[in-house]
């Protein structure tokens, strides 16, 4: 895995959203599917970002690979990235 500096990570925008209980249940379902990739994607922001990637590809009739999306979301998350880099250094 190549190291990314904090400046090369995507710009983050803080936005407040309102979710229903059904939305949260659906996020739990997404988390179960994404966890099958072997990557931990338990934060709501990562789950929502993954769902957005899948929805966008679906609406554009583009094929997508759930593993690729999971890896992208985890790699672009600064906290996860630092843990992955440290884990790789210790291996």
Tell me what percent of the chain is helix, strand and coil, each rounded to the nearest 5. 65, 0, 35
The 10 Å Cβ neighbour count of residue 49 is: 19
Extended strands (E) in 1-91: none
Q: What is the pLDDT of residues 53-66, one digit of tens each?
A: 999 999 999 999 98
- Taking a C-beta distance cutoff of 8 angstroms, is the pair 31, 47 a contact? yes
Please indicate, yes or no, if residue 38 is contained in any of the structural domains.
yes
- The parent domain of residue 54 ranges over 19-90
Average pLDDT over residues 46-56: 88
DSSP state of 8: G
Q: What is the pLDDT of residues 12-45, one digit of tens each?
A: 788 888 889 998 888 888 888 877 777 777 677 8
Average pLDDT over residues 63-71: 87
Please indicate, yes or no, if residue 57 is contained in any of the structural domains.
yes
How many structural domains does the chain have? 1
Please indicate, yes or no, if residue 26 is contained in any of the structural domains.
yes
Please indicate, yes or no, if residue 73 is contained in any of the structural domains.
yes
């Amino acid at each position: 895995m190549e190291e990314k500096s904090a400046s090369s990570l995507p710009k983050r925008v803080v936005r407040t959203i309102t979710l229903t209980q059904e939305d949260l249940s659906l996020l739990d379902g997404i988390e179960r599917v994404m966890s099958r990739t072997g990557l931990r994607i338990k934060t709501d922001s990562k789950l929502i970002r993954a769902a957005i990637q899948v929805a966008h590809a679906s609406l554009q009739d583009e094929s997508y690979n759930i593993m690729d999306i999971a890896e992208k979301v985890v790699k672009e998350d600064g906290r996860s990235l630092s843990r992955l880099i440290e884990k790789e250094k210790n291996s």
